[in-house]
Structure 1
Amino acid sequence: MEGRLELVIGGRAQGKSAYVKKKYPNAVCLDEKDLTEDGRLPVGDQTQDIILWDHFHLCVRNWQQAGMTMDEMQDRIEAICRACRHLVIISDEVGNGIVPLQKGDRVYRDLVGNLLIGIASKAERVDRIICQIPQQIK
């Protein structure tokens, strides 16, 4: 991966997006609604911009529903990271709490968790947000 990569995680409605948007007020913000028909984020050549990739976990859900494998998802993530000078990925933590009853939901939870492990291992910085308060964990 080229450029700078950060990961911001936390529970639903904990202020992740607000925290990151305050930290990077001039950043370009993209999320799952910005996915192209083939499941790509329209980042193009964003060498001058800070890109906030919000709702990463929902992108994974869309990719799963489109039938993508984990390897294909990893390739897609790496391509997006390579296209950005500075990328901040924002995701809900979906692996805490009650284990989902439906197999597809369990697979989704595991996909998000495993993809986030890979992203965190390559990220320069990882923050966990609780009540819009950051806790740097890497």
Structure 2
Amino acid sequence: MHFITGGAFNGKRKWVKKEYNRNQEKQWLSAYNGFPLPFTIPENHLVEVVLEGIEVWVKELTMRYDADRCREIWNGCLEAWISWEKERAERKLIVIGTDITKGIVPVKEENRLWRDVTGWAYQDVAAKSDKVDVIWYGLNQTIK
């Protein structure tokens, strides 16, 4: 699994498209386009799957559950995604999330919860990823 994060509108999508410009077709599942949180990845999905906008999926979880339950659900998804990727050597999972954890702490409790759970979710995905890149201004820095 490859985790890509960075600020909003800093070129994460463009970088991923350039970095993974291979002959393999990609299945691009984006929360920004209304795609729901994929609890699993179906067996028939292509070799490369990109999950984009994970902070949106985390926000949806925080609107329904407390922080502990959100993390439990999130880690269940991570395990299912990793299992899908490891079933075949040619499979690759690319996870993109916008960093919302910097800056001023939100005033509203629900936004603080979202920010906190997103930070924990990013720690979880980074820990379980084979590679982690941060994209700022279109430039990557590999941190794992």
Shorter chain as denominator, the TM-score bin is 0.7 to 0.9
Alignment of 1:34-73 (within 5 A): 34-35=35-36, 39-40=37-38, 43-45=41-43, 48-67=46-65, 69-73=70-74
Q: Does 1:27 align with 2:23?
A: no
Alignment of 1:106-117 (within 5 A): 106-117=112-123
Structure 2: which amino acid aligns with 1:92?
T
The 1-side partners of 2:130 and 2:44 are apart by 19
The 2-side partners of 1:131 and 1:11 are apart by 8
Bigger share in strand: 1
- What is the match of residue 9 of structure 1? 5
How far off its partner does 1:100 sit? Answer: 0.3
Alignment coverage as a number of residue pairs: 131
Structure 1: which amino acid aligns with 2:99?
E
The 2-side partners of 1:15 and 1:113 are apart by 20
Q: Does 1:120 align with 2:135?
A: no
- What is the match of residue 14 of structure 2? 18
Are 1:46 and 1:83, in contact at CA under 8 Å, matched by a contact in 2? no
Percent identical residues: 24
Structure 2: which amino acid aligns with 1:7?
F
Closer/same/farther in 2, CA of residues 27 and 44 from structure 1, 3 Å limit = same
Alignment of 1:86-101 (within 5 A): 86-101=92-107
How far off its partner does 1:59 sit? Answer: 1.1
With normalisation by structure 2, the TM-score equals 0.82
For structure 1, list consecutive stretches of 5 or more residues without a partner in the other structure.
Answer: none
Task: Answer with 100-109 or 26-35: which moved more.
Answer: 26-35
Secondary structure, aligned partner of 2:47: strand
The 2-side partners of 1:118 and 1:41 are apart by 16
Secondary structure, aligned partner of 1:88: strand
Secondary structure, aligned partner of 2:5: strand
How far off its partner does 1:87 sit? Answer: 0.7
Structure 2: which amino acid aligns with 1:43?
I
Q: After superposition, what is the alpha-carbon deviation per residue over 1:115-138, rounded to whole angstroms, capped at 9, x for unaligned? A: 111111111111000111111111
